[in-house]
Structure 1
């Protein structure tokens, strides 16, 4: 089982005195759910970009097992907040694009695409144009494109932020189902506290200015879903609600302190 690690990651952008990230250490194993929660400006997306290989840190290393990584590779697939689909390609063409540029055979590509389309429940719109899809369907295409790469680590950058509440919960359930079925390591950043609690067995709480890890919580809500509980029951559990409110108060207090420092 592979492990994606951030070791002593710090980042300060040129011409800025304040570090964006400072001494970040975390481990993401295959079959795990890791979520980063924090206010805007705490460096969540920057951390994801560093983990993906899109951004180089000022210091520290990203590793898979003992190998130091310096650029993006096929072991880390990213699902963006904006779906980043190619509008001139239809659904299945967008999904097979990563395989097409890797020079796989047409038969292999078609087999893989059909399998992934069924997993994300899009086989009925395989030939549809991207502009004909709802927001949730577009994000399913983005997730399918990440899955077809067979990357052991899937990195998601607030992928459901623009969706309505019902669609968002449907997509949360999809992530949990994929985590159970695919045995991959999922890393997700979000502003949504409920989403963070539901989709993590390792919840990373970050503070801003500079971006640091303030606390790591080990949670079992996703495991309860895996054991057969439905999402509505989990979210209405008094323990879930109490922790949600605790984190809300914690983040609100943190946000207030940061505003006082800035002013």
Structure 2
């Protein structure tokens, strides 16, 4: 089982002399769910961009197992906060785009696209235009585009932030089902506490100025879902509620400290 690693990652923008991240150490194993929780501005998206290979660091390194990574590669796929789909292409063509760039034969592309669309439950809109889709469906197209790369690590940048509460929960369930079926390493960033608790085997709590990991929690809520417990039952569990309130108070205290300092 491979592990995506951040080792002693720090980032400072020299021209602004602003420290963005400081001494981040993090392991994202395959087949696990890792969620980074923190208030806006703590550097969550920057950390994701570093893990994806989009952003260079001031110190430290990103590795898969013992290999140091210096840029993007096919082992890491990203689902953006804004779905970033190509509006002039339909659903199938958006999902197929990277395969066409690889020069695969059309029959192989059609086969892979059909399989992935079936996985994400979008076979019925394969030929639909992007503007005809709901927000949740657009995000599923984005996830399908990541899955078709066959990357062992899927990085998600607050993918459900713009969705209404009902759609957001259905997408959370969708991610859990993908994790169970695909056995990939999922790395997700969010500022939503319930989402962080539900979608993580390990929950990483970050604080800002500069962004630093202050605590990592090992959780079993996703595993309970895997074993058949419903999301509604999990979210109403006293342990879940207690942890949600504890994290809320910690984030609130961090925010107040940042304002006062």
Q: TM-score range by the shorter chain?
A: over 0.9
Structure 2 portions without partners, runs of 5+: none
Match of 1:186 in 2: 186
Is 173-182 or 98-107 further displaced after alignment?
A: 98-107
Alignment of 1:99 with 2:99, yes or no, is yes
Could you say what the CA RMSD is over the residues aligned between the two structures, in angstroms?
0.6
Superimposed CA distance per residue, residues 96-154 of structure 1 (whole angstroms, 9 cap, x where no aligned partner)? 11111011111111111111111111000000000010000000000000000000000
Matches within 5 A, 1:111-260: 111-260=111-260
Aligned counterparts of 1:251 and 1:18: Cα–Cα separation in 2: 22
Cα distance in structure 1, aligned partners of 2:91 and 2:139 = 11
Q: What is the alpha-carbon distance in structure 2 between the residues aligned to residue 100 and residue 176 of structure 1? A: 29
For 1:19, what is the secondary structure of its paired residue?
strand
- Map of 2:38 onto structure 1: 38
Equivalent-residue separation in structure 1 for 2:226 and 2:19 (angstroms):
39
The answer for unaligned runs of 5 or more in structure 1 is none
Which residue matches 2:88? 88
SS at match of 1:68: strand
After TM superposition, the score normalised by the length of structure 2 is: 0.99
Residue number in structure 1 paired with 2:18: 18
**Partner SS for 1:170:** helix
Measure, in 1, the Cα distance between the counterparts of 2:103 and 2:63.
27
| 2:86 aligned counterpart, secondary structure | coil
Alignment partner of 2:74: what SS? coil
In 1, the alpha carbon distance for the partners of 2:98 and 2:3 equals: 23
In 1, the alpha carbon distance for the partners of 2:228 and 2:76 equals 29
